[in-house]
Amino acid sequence: MDLNVVILAAGKGTRMKSSLPKVLQPLAKKPLLSHVLQTSLQLQATRVIVVHGYGGDQVKDMISQQFPDSPIEWVEQKEQLGTGHAVKQALPQLQAGSRTLVLYGDVPLIRAETLNQFLQTVGTGQCGVLTVKLAEPKGYGRIVRDDTGVVRQIVEEKDASPDIRKIDEVSTGILLADTRDLQTWLPKVTNQNAQGEYYLTDLIKIANDHDAAVTASLVENPAEVEGVNDKHQLARLERLYQQLLADELMAAGATLLDPARIDIRGRVRVGQDCSIDVNCVFEGDVELGDNVEISANCVLINCKIGSNTVVHPNCVIEKAVIGEDCEVGPFARMRPGTELKEKAKVGNFVETKNTVLGKGSKASHLTYLGDTVTGEKVNVGAGTITCNYDGANKFKTIIGDGAFIGSNSSLVAPLEIGAGATIGAGSTITKGADPNALTVARAKQVTISGWKRPEKKK
C-alpha cells in the first residue's frame, strides 16, 4: 500500500522569541524541518506533504533551496486550530487507497529505522501511535490503556484527571492510519477541550469507537521524539544530536579526545586511526584519510584531508583538498580552490585561495598565495604575497620547481617565476624571473643623517 507522509509545520514558535518560523530554527546548522524531511524521504513515500502556516513563504523558499529535486508538496493551514485541523487541510491531496503517517516539523531526531519498524508493526486497517515513557511526563498527552493493555484513548494533560496524570507513557503525536479511515474519522474530531483545539490524538478514541485495532509502538530513546519549543530545548537537542554523531564517528574508528566538544554540521567520513581534538567544527562533506590528526579549534568545511596529514590548532580549511603527509598551520586558512600536493607544508598565518602548492613545497609563515600554481620543492619565504588582483580582474602567478622566494617579496601577477629561480628578499617582482638565476628588485638604500623621530605633542 502506498504511503503518504504529512509533516505539520505551521506553528509560529512564540517561545523562540525569533522572527524565524519555528521549523526553520537551526539544528546542526540545518532547519529543524530539513531533518524531518530528510528522514521522510528515506521512507520511500509516494507523497510528502508539508502543512505550513506562519512564515509559509519563508519556509517554502528555504526548504525548496535545500531539496530542489524532491517531490515535496505544500498545504497551507491559514488558522492554527490544532493538529487535527492541520492534518485535515492535507486530506484533499491524499489518495484513499494508501496509508498516512503524520510527523512534526519540530521533532527533528526521529530516525528512519524507528519509523520503518513502526510502519511494519501497524497492519492495514489499524491505527498506530508512537509512544514513549518519560520519568517526567508533564505537558504530554497520556496513553490510556484498558485492563488488557489495549490503547483506548490519549488524554491531553489539561484535560486529564489526577490519576491519568500519573501515567508515564505518553503520546509522541506521531500517528499512522489508512487514509480512508482518516477521511472518515477527522470530521468527527471536535474542539471540546481545555485548549479549544482539534486534537489529532482524539483519533485513538474514535478508532476504538469504530472497532479499529489500535497499535502502540514504544520508542526506546526519548530523544528521538523530543520536540522543540524554545531555545533551551533547541540547545539540548543540539547536544543530543552531536552526541549521536560523535558516537557514529567513534564507531567508525575515530579517536575523539572529548566527544562532548565536537560539532558536526554535515557528514564526516574517516579512515583508520584518525584523531580529533576538542572544539573542532565540521561542515558540509568532510573526508579524512588514515592517520589524520586534527588539532584543537579547527574548522573544516567541504574538504578532503589525505592520509598522515597533521592539521595544527586554529586552522580553517574550506573547499580545499589537502594531500597525504602534509602539514597545515597552526593559524592557517585554506580558502576555496586550494590544493596541497603530497608533503606540502603551510605554517602559521598563511592564507591560500585558488592555489596549488606542489609536492614538497612549503610556505611556512605570514604568506598570502592567491591564484597561484607552484611546482615541487618551492620555498616561499615569510611575508611573501601574490598581488593577484588589480581592483577589477584577477591574474595568475606560476612558480617553477625548486624556486626560492625570499622573505617579504611581492609577486605582481600575471607573472611566471622560472624553475630554480631565486627572488631576493624584499623584492617587488613585476616581470618574469629567469630559471636558475637571482632576481632582485629593490630601491637604493639611503641614510638621512640628523633625522629625528616625531614626538608626541604635550
Strand extents, DSSP E, 167-248 = 169-178, 214-218
Using CA of residue 335, residue 337, residue 342, residue 344, what is the dihedral sign? negative
DSSP state of 418: P
Give the number of other Cβ atoms within 10 Å of residue 137's Cβ: 18
- Alpha helices by DSSP H, 122-220: 162-165, 179-185, 203-209
Instruction: At 328, list the grid cell.
Output: 597545515
Of 47, 41, 40, 43, the C-alpha closest to 4 is 47
The string of DSSP codes covering 73-86 is EEEE-SS---HHHH
Per-residue burial over 198-231, b = 16 or more CB atoms within 10 Å of its CB, e = otherwise: bbbbbbbbbbbeeebebbbbebeeebbbbbbebe
How many Cα atoms occupy the beta-carbon half-sphere of 45 within 13 Å? 31
Instruction: At 159, list the grid cell.
Output: 484535560
Name the active-site residue from 52, 85, 312, 365: 365
- For residue 92, the SS3 value is helix
What's the CA gap between 82 and 12, in Å, rounded?
Answer: 13
Q: Give the Å distances, CA to CA, from 90 to 6, 7, 101, 161, 230.
A: 7, 10, 12, 33, 27
Q: Give the Å distances, CA to CA, from 338 to 329, 352, 387, 390, 392.
A: 14, 6, 17, 21, 22
Q: Vertex 390, ends 431 and 410: CA angle to 5°?
A: 45
Instruction: Identify the H or E element spanning 381.
Output: none
Spacing of C-alpha 385 from chain mean position: 34
User: Pairing state of beta strands 422-423 and 404-405?
Assistant: parallel
Q: Is the previous residue joined to 330 through a cis bond, with omega within 30 degrees of 0? A: yes
Q: Contact, 401 vs 426, CB < 8 A?
A: no
Residue type, 7: I
| Catalytic-residue membership of 210 | no
Of 443, 409, 438, the C-alpha closest to 426 is 409
Of 294, 312, 126, the C-alpha closest to 207 is 126
Q: Contact, 371 vs 386, CB < 8 A?
A: yes
Any idea which residues carry the catalytic annotation?
365
